[in-house]
Amino acid sequence: MHVMSRISRLARRLDLDRSSAFARHGMDGWEFDVLSTLRRAGPPYELSPGDLVRATLVTSGTMTNRIDRLTARGWVERAPSPRDRRSVIVRLTDDGRTAVDAALADLLERERDILADLGPGDQADLVAQLRRLLAPFEG
């Protein structure tokens, strides 16, 4: 129980840190999830709505709502798909990229702070152990 209690406490702390980082940049966690998924897609930072559904594990209705809200904020835009005129793609705008990059920079800085007492070897060991613990849940 000692291990699980510590993992649970750490998870709560990390959730608070993530929420604070997002709030500093005027976004919610779900917004960061969609924006960062588009950012990871690489230039031109676009995916189909279906790809976003699969990557973020939400329903198509939820994703439609999220795309609408992100479009209203000017962080994404819909564009005709170059492969199929009946379909659309969702593209990260310059403002969206600026917002997600700033939030990510905050998250990475906080990660460095949290891990500062661990040397590179300890960090590598931690990553390996976490990967083993998560493997059954992530397929």
Q: What pLDDT does 85 receive? A: 82
pLDDT at 1: 75
Which of 108, 104, 106 has its CA nearest to residue 92?
Answer: 104
On whether the CB atoms of residues 123 and 115 are closer than 8 A, the answer is yes
Identity of the amino acid at 45: Y
Give 137's pLDDT tier (boundaries 50, 70, 90): confident
2-138 maps to which CATH number? 1.10.10.10
Please give the residue that has the higher pLDDT: either 95 or 139. 95
How many angstroms separate the Cα of 125 from the Cα of each of 39, 44, 46, 119? 28, 35, 35, 10
- Structural domain spans, the chain: 2-138
